[in-house]
Amino acid sequence: MRLLEGIGEAADAVRHNKLRTFLSLLGMIIGTASVVAIMAAGSMMSREFIDKADSIGARFIAVYNNWEIADWQKQAIYMSNRDVEAMREQQRGALFVRILGENLTAIKGNVSKSVNVRGADPGYWELWPHSFKSGRPTDQNDENSLAKVCILTEDYAGAFFPDGNAIGSSLTIGAFDYLVIGVIANSTGGLLNDGSNRETVFVPYIALERVKDWSWCGSPRVFELMVRAPSVARVGETVAGIEGYLDRMYGKIDGACRFKVEAIEGALRAIRTIFAAVSAIVAFIAGISLFVSGIGIMNVMLVAVAERTREIGIRKAIGAKSSDIMAQFLMESLFICLMGGIIGIALGIGIAKIVSIATKWSYYMPVFAPVTALLVSAGVGLVFGLAPAKNAASLDPLVALTKE
């Protein structure tokens, strides 16, 4: 049977049974649309969250003590400011940010609250950009001049300064007065955030370091260090350089480094894998509906064979081969499934665009989504059309001709 002739006959069969064809198409359309829309939505969600994280996180490196060393409690060794400066000199282009935390009491008039004070180097605001409702972040001038300035969250600004005049006012934190220079707008956070919350007060690193009690270790130490590599391509090089310096300075315990130097890019890869796996599982579940619709199409094709038994007998009597009859019914099954698949893909693309508008995600349709849906639709047509086609091809012409 010629291809064009087979397609024409399949189209004629569809036209002559519009209602039955529509009902058999419905399941295929819904299933295909679901697969395409879910794949697209999963890809858009993954790109939205991970791209934002990648913009800063792919170059992040965390440096902290290796708590897994057996004798860490006996020989607790921390980095010093001298170490940080030495690593800055060695890793030109990398951004080093020290972070220090302390729980202190903040007082303004009759309002007293226990606050989480976070001291950070000026580069902190480059690593984790915050939206400022008013004022400014701390800078290198604040650090150089040992200025006692602070930045409040929107909640704290309202609590300590209900009249709204926080900027330029003083706030007592611990035993010292700090000048409020900025107010951060409330944020819901994100996939990669700085771990701060609405009960955090920010001050220059040097300001908090100078008021902290270091008598237990003799001099200031660095507990938390975040590093941003110059580029994604140089993350490995930066990690190796930091590890090499710390190993030379502090040695190892039973072959284990005293410090952990971890690139967050590895965690991002894991998150990408999780997103991809979840999207694949959900798409697979949606794809089950395609196979369910395939069963419906097989039933419709079996009914078609029963209705057209006499036609099959006549075709065989005038010389049609069993392979021609089989090809005809397979072509009809494939035609119906592909028609449903194409309509479903168009519907799925429309749903994905609606999701994009509703969620404000950037619209993205992965090429594999419609291609996979179309291939699965064709596969369903061939697999579930095979049994009816075989039944039609195996009919005896004499028996078929006597069938009313």
Residue pLDDT, tens place only, 14-59: 666 666 677 777 878 888 888 888 888 888 887 777 666 656 567 8
pTM: 0.58
Instruction: Specify the 3-state DSSP secondary structure of 266.
Output: helix
Please give the pLDDT value at position 137.
94
Could you tell me which residues are beta bridge partners of residue 113?
106
- Chain-centroid distance, C-alpha 373: 22
Residue type, 397: P
Give the span between the Cα atoms of 45 and 101, in whole angstroms. Answer: 34
Q: Residues 167-196: pLDDT tens digits?
A: 999 999 999 999 999 999 876 454 446 667
DSSP H or E segment with residue 246: helix 235-250
Query: Could you count the other beta carbons within 10 Å of the beta carbon of residue 348?
Result: 28
Q: How far apart are CA 25 and CA 213, in angstroms?
A: 75
The answer to whether the beta carbons of residues 130 and 188 sit under 8 Å apart is: no
Q: Are 69 and 258 in contact (CB under 8 A)?
A: yes
Report the pLDDT value the prediction gives residue 52, as an integer from 0 to 100.
64
Nearest to 178 by CA among 204, 141, 140, 200: 204
Q: How far is the C-alpha of 355 from the C-alpha of 44, rounded, in Å? A: 9
CA distance 33 to 347: 6
Task: Quote the tokens at residue 48.
Answer: 């939205």
Q: Cite the beta strand spans of 87-165 per DSSP E.
A: 95-108, 111-120, 132-135, 149-153
Residue 352 vs residues 145, 194, 366: alpha-carbon distances, Å: 54, 32, 11
For the chain, residues with pLDDT lower than 70 are: 1-20, 50-57, 70-75, 187-195, 265-269, 271, 286, 305-309, 312-313, 315-316, 319-320, 395-404
Selection from 298, 305, 299 nearest residue 403 by Cα: 305
Q: What is the DSSP string of 187-249?
A: ----SS--S--TTEEEEEHHHHHHHS--TTTSS--B-EEEEE-SSGGGHHHHHHHHHHHHHHH
**Token pair 């189209």: residue:** 11
Domain boundaries, the chain: 3-53+269-401, 59-264
Q: Which residues contact 151 (CB under 8 A, 6 or more apart)?
A: 135, 137, 138, 180, 181, 182, 183, 184, 201, 202, 203
Only one residue has tokens 């710390």, namely: 246
Token representation of residue 41:
């939505």
